[in-house]
């Protein structure tokens, strides 16, 4: 799956190994969980557990802005108000975030365009 994504991104410096190193698989599972409305590729029982577990890893903090957007357009926004989720996001947002023009941002836009439509 990551090899296919790397090919679709169509950039010489990006291959499946690079995507694996940045934990793209975990990001895709987290996004899919919220798109599907239930945990995907995860042992978690609900979406609060999915995002709390996802953001427990410091290397995934850079994806917090992406996940906040996904959550806000795919599920009940109340999940973002749960104290445990608020705490995880507050800590994660202290770190630099991937932008839409980053490798990860481009991949998210490519695979989940409906999650990132501009509200105009």
User: How does pLDDT run across 77-95, given as a tens digit for each residue?
Assistant: 789 999 999 999 999 999 9
The residue-averaged pLDDT of 21-42 equals: 93
Q: Lowest mean pLDDT of 11-15, 53-57, 110-114, name the range.
A: 11-15
User: Whole-angstrom Cα distance, residue 120 to residue 105?
Assistant: 20
Q: Which long-range contacts (CB under 8 A, 24 or more apart) does 17-24 make?
A: 18/103, 19/103, 19/107, 22/103, 22/104, 23/57, 23/59, 23/60, 24/104, 24/107
Of 92, 120, 119, 94, residue with least CA distance to 27? 92
User: Whole-angstrom Cα distance, residue 98 to residue 67?
Assistant: 11
The more confidently predicted of residues 31 and 1 is 31
DSSP letter, residue 10: T
**Torsion from C-alpha of 60, 65, 67, 71, nearest 10 degrees:** 160
What's the predicted TM-score (pTM) here? Answer: 0.89
Q: Mean pLDDT over all residues of the chain?
A: 91
């Amino acid at each position: 799956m990551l090899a296919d994504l790397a090919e679709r991104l169509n950039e010489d410096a990006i291959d499946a190994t690079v995507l694996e190193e940045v934990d793209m698989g975990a990001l895709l599972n987290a996004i899919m969980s919220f798109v599907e409305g239930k945990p995907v590729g995860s042992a978690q029982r609900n979406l609060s557990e999915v995002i709390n577990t996802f953001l427990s890893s410091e290397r995934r903090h850079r994806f917090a802005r992406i996940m906040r957007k996904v959550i806000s357009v795919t599920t009940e926004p109340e999940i973002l108000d749960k104290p445990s989720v608020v705490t995880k996001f507050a800590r994660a947002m202290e770190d630099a975030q991937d932008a839409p023009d980053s490798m990860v941002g481009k991949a998210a836009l490519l695979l989940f365009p409906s999650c990132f439509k501009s509200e105009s």
